[in-house]
Amino acid sequence: MEPTEAELIAAVLKGETAKFEPLVAKYSPRVFATARRYARRDSEVEDIAQEVWTKAFQKLASYRGEAPFEHWLMRLAVRTCYDFLRAHQRNREKSFSELSDAEGDWLERCVRQPETVEEDADAARQLINRVLEQLSPAARMVITLLEIEDKSVKEIAKLTGWSVPLVKVRAFRARAEMRKILLKIAKEKYL
Amino acid sequence: MNVVDLEKKLIQAARQDRPSDKVPYAFEKRIMAFLRPLPTPDCWGLWAGALWRATVPCLTVMLLLTVWCVIPGANPAPASNLSQEMDNTVLAAIDQEQASELPE
């Protein structure tokens, strides 16, 4: 019979480091999927995942077992991703002057015939990724969690450690920031 | 251009673009190797190693000193008996006092 998560965690806390491996193997897919929302390069994604697991190991004593381990780990993962975004804030793209042909075409069709535009087109994905990369770390985090992952304000507050009013304020500002960027694209393309 | 519509379409595109949850091969092994604590230094082992390494230089010095002592002429003989030299040194102060008390 395989040991439960609680037994594995208790063993790790007693000094049996090897018992941490099944937890890493089980939850790494979730950690990687979360990291890939915020980082594009494989090396960056792996760095984030490694950071998450290092923190999880170091802070394991602070896990009280009241909520599932996965929730605790996801909080750690989201906060690590936010730290990553803040650390790489200066590397954000500053201009949309290099829109690819496919992105330009998709944007043009979206303007002229919005009903015919496919939302699952590669160009649309590339474009939204570019827009997200231009957002500030807090705005990107809140747009990703609220709009893309469809989480509630309360869930975001728990994940990020921000208060509920702060999440609401940041969501409002993030939408405004995103619209400003979209207007900038429109101006660069059509003016 | 309707920015709100564009925003909605882009958000929809992002929702449909689910990130992969693929984990690199043997990632958990790498993490475990990273987390494994560094071995603590064994003080007795270090001391024994140092002693063992010092064996050859110590033997060499010992052999050289032995040779130096054994070879005749390499070590000049003392001028007089060691015990006599010792007595002279210790009693030098008394000898000087006695010499100064003697009438001229």
Q: Does residue B39 sit at the A interface (CB-CB below 8 Å)? A: no
Q: Which residues of B touch A111 (CB under 8 A)?
A: 1, 6
The residues of chain A that CATH labels 1.10.10.10 are 95-191
Q: Would you give the DSSP letter of residue B73?
A: T
Interchain CB distance below 8 Å, A32 and B20: yes
Percent of chain A with pLDDT over 70: 92
Per the CB < 8 Å rule, is B17 touching A28?
no
Interatomic CA distance for residues A77 and A25, integer angstroms: 15
Which of A30-34, A120-124, A140-144, B23-27 shows the lowest mean pLDDT across its residues? A120-124
Inform me whether the C-beta atom of residue A148 falls under 8 Å from chain B C-beta atoms.
Answer: yes
For residues A157-174, give the mean pLDDT: 95
pLDDT of residue A93: 58
The minimum CA-CA distance between A90 and chain B, rounded to whole Å, is: 23
Give the model's confidence band at B44: pLDDT under 50 very low, under 70 low, under 90 confident, else very high: confident
Fold designation for A95-191: Arc Repressor Mutant, subunit A (1.10.10)
- Measured between beta carbons, the chain A residues lying within 8 angstroms of B14 are 125, 128-129, 132, 147-148
Considering only the beta carbons, identify the residue of A50, A119, A175 that sits closest to B16. Answer: A119
Contact A132, A118 (CB under 8 A): no
Length of chain A: 191
CATH 2.130.10.10, applies to A1-91:
no
Res. B25: pLDDT tops 90: yes
Judged by DSSP in three states, A151 sits in coil
Where residue B104 falls among pLDDT bands split at 50, 70, 90? low
Q: Do B7 and A50 touch (CB under 8 A)?
A: no
Which comes out higher in pLDDT, residue B60 or A89?
A: B60
Pick the closest to residue A76 from A24, A121, A41, A12 (CA basis): A24
Which of A35-39, A96-100, B69-73 is least confident?
Answer: A96-100
pLDDT surpassing 90 at residue A100:
no
What percent of chain B clears pLDDT 70, i.e. is strictly above it?
84
Span(s) in chain A for CATH 1.10.1740.10 = 1-91
Lowest-confidence pick of A44-53, A90-99, A127-136: A90-99
pLDDT at site B1: 61
Which pLDDT score is estimated for A77? 96
Q: Please say if the pLDDT value at position A153 is more than 60.
A: yes
User: Among A2-6, A20-24, A36-40, A54-58, which stretch is predicted with the lowest mean pLDDT?
Assistant: A2-6
Q: Tell which wins on pLDDT, B42 or A73.
A: A73
- Per-residue model confidence (pLDDT) at position A120: 63
Q: What is the pLDDT of residue A86?
A: 93
Q: Report helix angle B3-16 to A101-112, nearest 10.
A: 130
Find where tokens 């992002």 sit.
B14
Chain length of chain B: 104
Residue B56 has pLDDT above 80, yes or no: yes
- pLDDT at residue A188 greater than cutoff 60: yes
Quote the pLDDT of residue B80: 62
Q: Do A147 and B11 touch (CB under 8 A)?
A: yes
Which one of B20, B23, B29, B40 would you mutate to disrupt binding with A, by most A Cβ within 10 Å of its Cβ? B23
Token pair 């673009």 in the structure block, residue: B17
A143 vs B contacts (CB less than 8 Å) = 11
The percentage of chain A sitting over the pLDDT mark of 90, rounded to a whole number, equals 59
**pLDDT higher than threshold 60 for residue B38:** no
- Region B17-25: mean pLDDT is 91
A 74-113 residues inside an 8 A Cβ radius of B: 107, 110-111
ipTM, two decimals, is 0.80
